[in-house]
């Protein structure tokens, strides 16, 4: 499963890129707004850091404006994936942009039926929101499994991006459920490294090494 960072913060992206395990980035208008720069400028900076798919979201909600904005975003860099909301005009815009060879990420997906529409419209990526479904008492991971089964049944090439991941368990379960991509905040990626037995084991190895060399006088 590919690991994407769900952030527009350049410092977080640099740290993730330095580890060598970040495959791409997802952004949205809220994340861009936090950084205080126009979307085109911030997205271009992100593309200079991460060598992978970069989702940039339109803010328009009407078909013609979505298409126009999507074309503009796609020109920023070859790695741009235009992010569209899963509404009627968004699906229509997805069909148009996909037909022009522009890759799209259809976002705010909460049902398998919605994911089916996105795949039929030629979406490059579908983004089901796991954590937000958990928030309202549903099991978000069931949606990932359902979409994976439907896409497998019919050979859809749309990649499943498991979004709104809030824990290491979410990440592991997404991989088990068949998501192609998991996108998460920097703090969740950072948590993937952690286990107390790793820390304890390393501490013991270093103590044993130091003791052996001290006792031999080296």
Q: Mean pLDDT for the chain?
A: 96
23 confidence band (pLDDT: 50, 70, 90): very high
Please identify which of the residues 75, 83, 149, 211 carries the catalytic annotation: 83
pLDDT the model gives residue 45? 98
Distance CA 74, CA 67 (A): 10
Q: Does the annotation mark 95 as catalytic?
A: no
pTM of the full structure: 0.93
| pLDDT, tens only, 35-59 | 999 999 999 999 999 999 999 999 9
Token pair listed for 185? 């905040």
pLDDT the model gives residue 146? 98
pLDDT the model gives residue 210? 84
pLDDT for 217 beyond 60: no
Domains of the chain: 2-193 (3.20.20.70)
Mean predicted confidence (pLDDT) in 140-158: 98
Q: Considering only CA atoms, which of 185, 148, 150, 149 is closest in space to residue 170?
A: 185
218 confidence band (pLDDT: 50, 70, 90): low
């Amino acid at each position: 499963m590919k690991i994407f960072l769900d952030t527009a913060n350049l410092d977080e992206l640099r740290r993730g890129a330095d580890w060598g395990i970040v495959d791409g980035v997802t952004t949205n208008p809220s994340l861009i707004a936090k950084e205080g720069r126009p979307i085109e400028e911030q997205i271009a900076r992100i593309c200079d850091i991460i060598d992978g798919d970069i989702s940039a979201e339109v803010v328009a909600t009407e078909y013609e404006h979505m298409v126009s904005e999507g074309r503009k975003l796609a020109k920023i860099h070859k790695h741009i994936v235009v992010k569209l909301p899963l509404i009627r005009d968004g699906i229509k815009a997805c069909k148009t942009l996909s037909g022009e060879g522009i890759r799209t990420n259809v976002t705010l997906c909460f049902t398998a039926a919605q994911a089916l529409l996105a795949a039929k419209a030629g979406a490059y990526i579908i983004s089901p929101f796991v954590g937000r479904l958990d928030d309202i008492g549903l099991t978000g991971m069931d949606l990932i499994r359902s979409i994976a089964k439907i896409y497998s049944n019919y050979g859809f090439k749309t990649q499943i991006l498991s979004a709104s991941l809030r824990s290491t368990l979410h990440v592991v379960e997404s991989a088990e459920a068949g998501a192609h991509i998991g996108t998460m905040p920097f703090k969740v990626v950072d948590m993937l490294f952690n286990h107390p037995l790793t820390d304890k084991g390393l501490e013991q190895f270093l103590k044993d090494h130091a003791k052996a060399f001290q006792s031999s006088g080296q």
